[in-house]
Amino acid sequence: MSRPSVHRLRKFRFERPQQIAALLLLLFFGQCLWISAHRTLSETDYQYARCGRETWEKPALLTGYFTTCGNIPDGILAWRAAGLPLTIDRILSGESASTSTWEMRHEIWSIRLLVRLPFMLAGLALGACLWWVTRRLFGNTGGYIALALYCFSPPILRASTVPNSEILAAFGIFSAVYTAIGVSHALQGPRRKWRPRIILLAVILGFTAAAHISAFALALLFCIAFMAWVAEGKRALIPTLLIFWIVSAFLLLFAAYSFRLDAFSYIFRSAAGMLWISLEPARWFFTRLTSVIFTIAIAGSLALYAAQRRSRYFGNTAPLIVAVVLFLVITTGVHSEPWLWALPFFITFIAGIFADVLETRHRRLFLFVTGGILLAQAALCLATLPLLTQ
Do 156 and 281 lie in one domain? The reply is yes
Do 258 and 208 lie in one domain? The reply is yes
Instruction: For residue 33, give Cα distances in angstroms to 111, 147, 165, 257, 388.
Output: 13, 18, 19, 30, 12
pLDDT at 212: 94
Do 278 and 378 lie in one domain? The reply is yes
The H-or-E segment that residue 276 falls in is: strand 275-277
Q: Which domain holds residue 229?
A: 165-270
For the question of whether the overall pTM of this predicted structure is more than 0.85, the answer is yes
Residue 26 lies in a domain: no
pLDDT at 66: 80
How many domains does the chain fold into? Answer: 2
Do 150 and 221 lie in one domain? The reply is no
pLDDT at 109: 52
pLDDT at 59: 60
42 φ/ψ angles, rounded to the nearest 5 degrees? -95, 175
Do 153 and 278 lie in one domain? The reply is yes
d(CA 110, CA 86) in angstroms, rounded, equals 11
pLDDT at 102: 53
pLDDT at 248: 96
Block means of pLDDT (10 residues each) for the chain, 390 residues, are 45 82 96 93 88 80 70 87 87 65 55 90 97 95 96 96 95 97 89 88 96 95 94 87 96 92 84 88 92 95 92 94 96 89 97 92 89 96 92
Do 200 and 247 lie in one domain? The reply is yes
pLDDT at 9: 45
Do 266 and 279 lie in one domain? The reply is no
Question: Which residues fall within 8 angstroms of residue 159, CB to CB, at 6 or more apart?
Answer: 119, 123, 166, 167, 170, 337, 340
Residue 105 lies in a domain: no
Do 240 and 369 lie in one domain? The reply is no
Do 337 and 349 lie in one domain? The reply is yes
pLDDT at 2: 42
Instruction: Please identify, among 235, 270, 305, the residue that sits at the C-terminal boundary of a domain.
Output: 270
